Amino acid sequence: MNWSLAMALVLLVAKVTAAVITGSSAIYSDAAESVGHFLAVGFAAWALRFSRKPADETHHFGHDKVAFVSSGFEGAMVSAAGLLILYAAIQQFIFGVHIVNLGIGVVITACAAGINLVLGFSLVSVGKRSGSPLLKANGMHVLTDVWSSVAVLVALGLYYWSGWVWWDPIAAVLAAVNILRVGFRLMRDSLGGLLDESDPEMERVIRDLLDAEADRRGLSYHNLRYRHSGRTHWVEFHLVFDDGVSVGEAHEEATRVEGKIADRLYPDGRVISHLEPKSAEDEAERWEEG
């Protein structure tokens, strides 16, 4: 994240310089996206540190849900940049296109695209491995910057070979549409995380493991619930035992089952089970009826 913040600042300065020198709306669109990106990365860098704070008296479940807030903020910044790019392109369609110093703009844009490509894939990869929506969102944002730069380079190349200046605003519009698509996706994922939207793939993994452990011990279970708070996996379920099993024995068995699932979710898995006798298996607790 520190590298991402540093590169965002360097590339922002470079792209704004290229936009001023060339007058290209396509390069301007690339620079505008970088403004939003820099603000979003700054917020994400703070959020990443804040999310690592342990639970305290006012936040019993920790602070890692701020990752979804950061992802939503990043999506909003991306979308704002997309709208700004569309506005600039429309302005050029109305008032005309004037491009100068094409070579400098191409060199700066190409270098920026190469740096962002490496950085973006690295962030997405680390985000997936660590289960961090914050890092993954930042990586996706960086990769949108790459596609914006590619669109700029294609447009400037077409302009160079054909002399038709309208390639420039057309490329800006296409880049803006792609940027808006990614921005809305980030905001939608952020909302899903804040509302504890289920992850079908991870829930299937947990259910398969729980099925195996319950079958091996002659137990059954129900009311499996799973959520991911940005870094921590929270799992809860009801384990059903024969009526004659003592509380101590049931507790030991439940602890072993919880441990198996927690090991699968290491290092940030939190597993809670509720013990039930078979005679009460079909009786729903009052707090669950709503």
137-167 pLDDT per residue, tens: 778 878 877 877 787 788 778 877 887 878 7
At residue 245, the pLDDT reads 93
At residue 215, the pLDDT reads 93
At residue 261, the pLDDT reads 92
At residue 284, the pLDDT reads 62
CA dist., res. 224 & res. 210, Å (int): 9
CATH number for the domain running over 200-288 = 3.30.70.1350
pLDDT tens profile 22-48: 777 667 767 777 777 788 888 888 888
Q: In CATH, which superfamily holds the domain spanning 2-194? A: Cation efflux protein transmembrane domain (1.20.1510.10)
At residue 211, the pLDDT reads 94
pTM over 0.85: no
For the chain, give the percent of residues with pLDDT over 70. Answer: 94
At residue 285, the pLDDT reads 61
Concatenated DSSP letters of the chain: -HHHHHHHHHHHHHHHHHHHHH--HHHHHHHHHHHHHHHHHHHHHHHHHHHTSPP-SS-TT-STTHHHHHHHHHHHHHHHHHHHHHHHHHHHHHH------HHHHHHHHHHHHHHHHHHHHHHHHHHHHHT-HHHHHHHHHHHHHHHHHHHHHHHHHHHHHH--TTHHHHHHHHHHHHHHHHHHHHHHHHHHHHTT---HHHHHHHHHHHHHHHHHHT-EEEEEEEEE-SS-EEEEEEEEE-TTS-HHHHHHHHHHHHHHHHHHTTTSEEEEEEEEEGGGTT---GGG--
* Domain 2-194 shares a fold with domain 200-288: no
At residue 224, the pLDDT reads 92
At residue 229, the pLDDT reads 82
Q: Peptide bond preceding 267: is omega within 30 degrees of 0, i.e. cis?
A: yes
Domain boundaries, the chain: 2-194, 200-288
At residue 98, the pLDDT reads 66
With a cut of 50, which residues of the chain have pLDDT below it?
Answer: 290
At residue 288, the pLDDT reads 59
At residue 199, the pLDDT reads 82
At residue 289, the pLDDT reads 53
